[in-house]
Structure 1
Amino acid sequence: MVKNKPTTLACNPPPEAAQTLLALMHAQGEVARLSEREQLFSSLLDSVNAVLWAFDWESRQVLYVSPAYERIFGRPAGLLLADFNEWRDSIYPDDLDYAERSLAEVLVKGAVEDREYRIIAADGQVRWISDKCFINQQSDPDQRVIIVGMAEDITEKKQLEGELQRLATTDVLTQSSNRRHFFECAQHAFETARLQQTPLAFLLLDIDDFKQINDTYGHQEGDYVLQRIADTGKAVLRRGDQFGRIGGEEFAAVFPGCTPEIAQQIAERLQREIQRLSFSHEDKVFGVTVSQGLTGITEDDESLDSLFARADAAMYQAKRQGKNQIVRG
């Protein structure tokens, strides 16, 4: 009797099954790689401290906004995606017209990279935004226009710029304009007055016997006198007038659109307010006076130097005549 041979089980699957298995493994690998890329992309977007956005110009709809929007603007991204007016409502009112106008310029220029405007974040803080935008390049004119952009929070940069500007234009001791900045402003006011044929007054002020104050009470007390004089000048002058410290104990003022008569009244008020100031040092009380030279622009004045020279001569005449007075030149 012949015994049947045992059946040999196949160690390898049929070719069709193997191909299916390989295809499934490849698909799973692709899904895994796609998931990794999505996670990487999402992680990158979360870490970028700038708002990436896309906007449909025709429908006025925000198509995409990155996670940084909620950090910088402090508002839910879903509200912006649902209503474009969320962006408009967040802009500082004085900057809204510029923000909208500069956004529209991208349709003509293709790119606008110098947009800077302020927003009011949800916490009430005012922040500066640098918002670059670009139009997509479409070969088919019938396709919709998509604008993409990147908005960064530049508040710290603006604050630093402001502080540097303040340091460059301000006298450190008195916090009034320094000499360079004062004369830059005075020159601009002079040119405007000449062009528009409007009045302009120029004033020089010098503290009487200031060296004696320093010698008697010390330089620290002298510095305090300078600060009080500067504060008084800034308080008395009108909005639009320029006041600055141009020398050790010498100050100057420019009054745009001001006739000599009105300028005289301002100078007299300044004189009175300074006379009211009281200082004390080691139980000694003292006051200060100033001598002022005042002049106004004339048809013959071709430069600011001529006004300065007349005011300077008038101020020294006030010194020679007994100090604590105003002389018009």
Structure 2
Amino acid sequence: MGSMGRAETPAERRRKGPRFGANFMTVLEVSRELVCLCVDGVVADANSAGIAMLGAGSADQVVGRAFRDLVGGDYAGVIDDLLHLKEIEDSAFPIKVRHLDGGTFEAELQIHPARELGPAHAVVTARDISHQGRLARTARDSEDRFQALVERSMHLVLLCHGGRIGYINATGVAVLGGTDPSQFAGIPVSEIFAGDYREIVAADLGALLDEGGIMPMRLARLDGSTFDAQIKATKLPSQGAAPEYMVEARDITGQIRAVAALRHMNDTLEQQVAARTRELDEERARAVEARAFVESLLEAVPNPLWWKDTRGRYLGYNGAFRELHGVGPTDWIGRTTAEMVNPGFAAIASQADTQALAEAGRVQFEAHLEVAADRALDVVVNKTVWHGRDNRPEGVIGVMLDITERKRMEAELRRLATTDVLTGIFNRRHFMEMARIEVDRARRHGRPLVALMLDIDHFKRINDTHGHPVGDVAIKALADVCTQIIRHEDVLGRMGGEEFAIVLTETDLDGALLVAERLRQAVAAIRIPAELGTVAFTTSIGVAERLEGDATIDTILSRADMALYSAKRSGRNKVAVG
């Protein structure tokens, strides 16, 4: 190519992904999401999936409408600014999309500037997310059950920070003779103990925490009266120097009186005393089991689960989360997602946290998570807000589902359903679907379109002389040549055996003949090494352009096929027009 360097091949252009060229909608037609082109905020074109999602019977019902009329929600007021490129939204955002019949569905919308197509041109994509959110609801239900268990506990429960009370449940307020939790918030925890116990706790809180088991102590009510109780203090993970711990207390005044009375009873009641003692032990065992169940509930969830505060700092996570990231129970406590995972995932996760806290609702998103240097996953994340005592948002709970294998299987199923196993190009069924779409588009917009039919000359001779494996190599070589010469917006398919078909979009007859001649020459230059010598072969090509009266691709392919046989009759290795 001289000083200008090597020209970019069509295959290299395809690897770069879709570009907003004149025919970009051809590629996006296969998308299951809504895709449309807007000019000055008005829909100029839409793919078939989008037409169906909007409840339209044809493109004519959508084309020409102002896109802002198709959306609702908070973004409806600024949609024109986004479509006229006065404002740029880099990432997808949730929005309500309206059906033509007046109904709505939740979607994730993204607007891409397309200035290369013209002023105020934008490409809009929307993905239906109405069905999502079930996992987030499950996590929220678990949090509600946990809160209910603590608040409705039969025993006093305190959450303390340092030497002061931060939280007290309703049972605790009643046991201590109060009327409202605010009477206890912030007071020294030693104040609820009576006599010498108060001094011991005030002087050496650490001793209480180190005791670990259940201890008999005396507590004081607000009116100064006292009662005997069983106390258990449990250390909690703490982020600062001051310890955080939970105190549980059970009023055992009645039990102590009963035991004292039993001591004065006749020896014949000893059996009843023993039975009552066993009953108490069983009660305590059931209480311990209930607490253990609540504490292990999150650990039992098979999917990675975590909870964070309103500043995005991790407060805790379950065993599945630790296993996924290979971390210990406290390694990420106090850290943020941005510090611990890949930037792309962190940015989406942070935006989801902000949205969930702002709307006090549930958010779901899909993202690519790098869990190790050589390991990445496709995941679905559901997030929901958890609330504190005053019903204000205290943070976000997240649940993750690994969909990597599902994504891989979906891609493989799409490939198997649409491609020819030998050549890797479209199979006959998918080619006909794509070709019909292109013919409909050409008719709708009055654009040129040409179909080519081609096959290998004397293909039976190759099979008979060199064997079917060499014949397969020849078929694959012909497919590769076609892929290299045509554009990525054109449609190529194997119709069966050694026969191929091509639809050239936005191409008139003269342009198609140039392409056909290049194909014929390129095929003639193919050389395949074989046991009996090098194999060379040629191709005959039939060309037919779309005429005004052509309603289907079948009519055009039929003329191209007749032209192909005309090329065969005139000596092969030729291009003929039908």
> What interval of TM-score do these two structures reach, taking the shorter chain for normalisation?
0.7 to 0.9
Across the aligned residues of Structure 1 and Structure 2, the Cα RMSD in angstroms comes to 4.2
Contact 2:382 2:399 (C-alpha < 8 Å) held by counterparts: yes
What's the CA shift for 1:123? 1.6
Structure-2 change in CA distance of 1:322 and 1:162 (3 Å): same
1:208 to 457, 469, 478: 457
Contact 1:107 1:135 (C-alpha < 8 Å) held by counterparts: no
Contact 1:203 1:311 (C-alpha < 8 Å) held by counterparts: yes
CA distance in 2, matches of 1:236, 1:218: 28
Structure-2 change in CA distance of 1:297 and 1:212 (3 Å): same
User: In the alignment, what sits opposite 1:15?
Assistant: 260
For residue 321 of structure 2, what is the amino acid of its counterpart?
Answer: Y
Contact 2:363 2:383 (C-alpha < 8 Å) held by counterparts: yes
Mapping of 1:117-266 within 5 angstroms? 117-134=367-384, 143-144=392-393, 147-266=396-515
Contact 2:357 2:395 (C-alpha < 8 Å) held by counterparts: no
Contact 2:355 2:363 (C-alpha < 8 Å) held by counterparts: no
For residue 367 of structure 2, what is the amino acid of its counterpart?
Answer: Y
Matched, 1:83 2:333: no
What's the CA shift for 1:116? 3.4
For residue 44 of structure 1, what is the amino acid of its counterpart?
Answer: A
CA distance in 2, matches of 1:240, 1:87: 41
For residue 556 of structure 2, what is the amino acid of its counterpart?
Answer: L
Aligned with 1:285: secondary structure?
Answer: coil
CA distance in 2, matches of 1:197, 1:25: 87
Mapping of 1:299-318 within 5 angstroms? 299-318=548-567
For residue 128 of structure 1, what is the amino acid of its counterpart?
Answer: D
For residue 229 of structure 1, what is the amino acid of its counterpart?
Answer: L
1:243-296, Cα deviation, whole Å (9 max, x unpaired)? 221111101122333343443333222222211111344333331111112233
Contact 1:171 1:177 (C-alpha < 8 Å) held by counterparts: yes
Identity %: 30
User: In the alignment, what sits opposite 1:276?
Assistant: 525
Aligned with 1:258: secondary structure?
Answer: coil
Aligned with 2:380: secondary structure?
Answer: strand
1:50-106, Cα deviation, whole Å (9 max, x unpaired)? 2223456x645555443433544568885585224358845469xx77995799489
For residue 552 of structure 2, what is the amino acid of its counterpart?
Answer: S
Structure 1: state its 5+ residue gaps.
Answer: 1-13
Structure 2: state its 5+ residue gaps.
Answer: 1-258, 264-272
Structure-2 change in CA distance of 1:99 and 1:305 (3 Å): farther
- The TM-score with structure 1 as length reference comes to 0.74
Contact 1:61 1:81 (C-alpha < 8 Å) held by counterparts: yes
**More displaced stretch, 71-80 vs 145-154:** 71-80
Higher relative contact order (CA 8 A, sep 6+): 1
What's the CA shift for 1:200? 2.9
Structure-2 change in CA distance of 1:157 and 1:206 (3 Å): same
For residue 15 of structure 1, what is the amino acid of its counterpart?
Answer: A
User: In the alignment, what sits opposite 2:304?
Assistant: 51
Matched, 1:66 2:318: yes
What's the CA shift for 1:144? 1.7
CA distance in 2, matches of 1:239, 1:166: 17
Contact 2:450 2:512 (C-alpha < 8 Å) held by counterparts: yes
**More displaced stretch, 311-320 vs 192-201:** 192-201
User: In the alignment, what sits opposite 2:47?
Assistant: none
CA distance in 2, matches of 1:265, 1:249: 22
Aligned with 1:301: secondary structure?
Answer: coil
Structure-2 change in CA distance of 1:85 and 1:162 (3 Å): same
1:11-52, Cα deviation, whole Å (9 max, x unpaired)? xxx829999xx7x9789757854674477447525xx2x222
Aligned with 1:253: secondary structure?
Answer: strand
Larger proportion of helix? 1
Aligned with 1:302: secondary structure?
Answer: coil
CA distance in 2, matches of 1:87, 1:297: 58
- The TM-score with structure 2 as length reference comes to 0.45
CA distance in 2, matches of 1:249, 1:179: 12
For residue 82 of structure 1, what is the amino acid of its counterpart?
Answer: R
Contact 2:442 2:449 (C-alpha < 8 Å) held by counterparts: yes
Aligned with 2:496: secondary structure?
Answer: coil
Structure-2 change in CA distance of 1:39 and 1:147 (3 Å): closer
**More displaced stretch, 154-163 vs 115-124:** 115-124
CA distance in 1, matches of 2:545, 2:326: 53
CA distance in 1, matches of 2:570, 2:353: 60
Aligned with 1:324: secondary structure?
Answer: coil
